[in-house]
């Protein structure tokens, strides 16, 4: 397998992990909206589903993107595909 194919394979792997986490917090948990609302877990006192729609999911997305960007930079570094000055 060429260097480029390996790089793409790792990139695709990272994509799937990222999309899996994204799926859980944008779609997955809202399948159980009514059940979660009754839960005794109450972040800052808010009902659980309400909290996820106001803050929880939103904050997780912000963190997820920065985490993803960091991991992708590591993959690019590993294969020497990081941009250099004057590339553009």
Partner 1 sequence: MIKGKFIDNLPKIYGIYTGGFLVFIILMSIAEQAGMSKELIGIFFVSFTVLIYALIGWLSRTLQSDAYYVAGRQVPTVFNGMATAADWMSGASFVAMAGGIYFKGYGYMALLVGWTGGYVLVAALLAPYLRKFGCYTVPDFIGTRYGGNLARFCAVLVLTLASFTYVTAQINATGRIASVALDIPFNIAVYVGLASILMCSMLGGMRAVTWTQVAQYIVLIIAYLLPVFWISSNIGAGFFPHFMLADEVARIAELEGQFGFVKNSAADMATVPKGLAQITKAHSEVNATPWAFISLAICMMAGTASLPHVMMRYFTTPSVRTARRSVGWSLFFIFLLYSSAPMLATLSKISLMDPNLATGIIGKSIAEVQALDWYQNWNQAKLMFVSDFNGNGTLELNEFFMKGDAVVLATPEIAGLPYVISGLVAAGGMAAAMSTADGLVLAISNALSHDIYYKIINPKAETAKRLIVARILLVIIGFAGATIAALEINDILGSVIWAFDFAMSGLFFPLVLGVWWKRANAAGAVAGMLLGLGSGTAYLVWVKWYAGAGFLGITTNTFGLVGATVSLVAMIVVSLITEAPDSATQKMVDDVRVPSGKTILGKQ
Phi/psi of residue 9, nearest 5 degrees: -60, -45
List the one residue from 1, 40, 41, 62 that touches partner 1 (CB under 8 A). Answer: 62
Answer yes or no whether residue 9 interacts with partner 1 by CB under 8 A.
no
Query: Which tokens go with 25?
Result: 């917090």
Q: Lay out the site mask for partner 1 across 33-52 (x = CB under 8 A, - = otherwise).
A: xx--x----x-xxxx-xx--
Q: Which conformational region is residue 41 in: left (phi greater than 0), alpha (psi within -120 to 50 degrees), or beta? A: beta
| Measured distance CA(6)–CA(47) in Å, rounded | 45
Contact 23, 16 (CB under 8 A): no
Phi/psi of residue 46, nearest 5 degrees: -80, 150
Answer yes or no whether residue 20 interacts with partner 1 by CB under 8 A.
no
Answer yes or no whether residue 24 interacts with partner 1 by CB under 8 A.
no
Residues near partner 1, by CB under 8 A? 4, 7-8, 11, 15, 18-19, 22, 25-27, 30-34, 37, 42, 44-47, 49-50, 53-55, 57-59, 61-62, 64-66, 68-69, 72-73, 76, 80-84, 87-88
């Amino acid at each position: 397998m060429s260097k480029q194919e390996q790089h793409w394979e790792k990139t695709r792997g990272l994509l799937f992990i990222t999309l899996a986490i994204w799926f859980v917090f944008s779609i997955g948990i809202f399948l159980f909206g009514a059940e979660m609302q009754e839960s005794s877990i109450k972040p800052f006192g808010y009902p659980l589903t309400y909290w996820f729609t106001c803050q929880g999911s939103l904050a997780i997305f912000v963190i997820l993107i920065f985490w993803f960007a960091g991991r992708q930079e590591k993959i690019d570094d590993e294969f020497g595909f990081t941009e250099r000055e004057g590339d553009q």
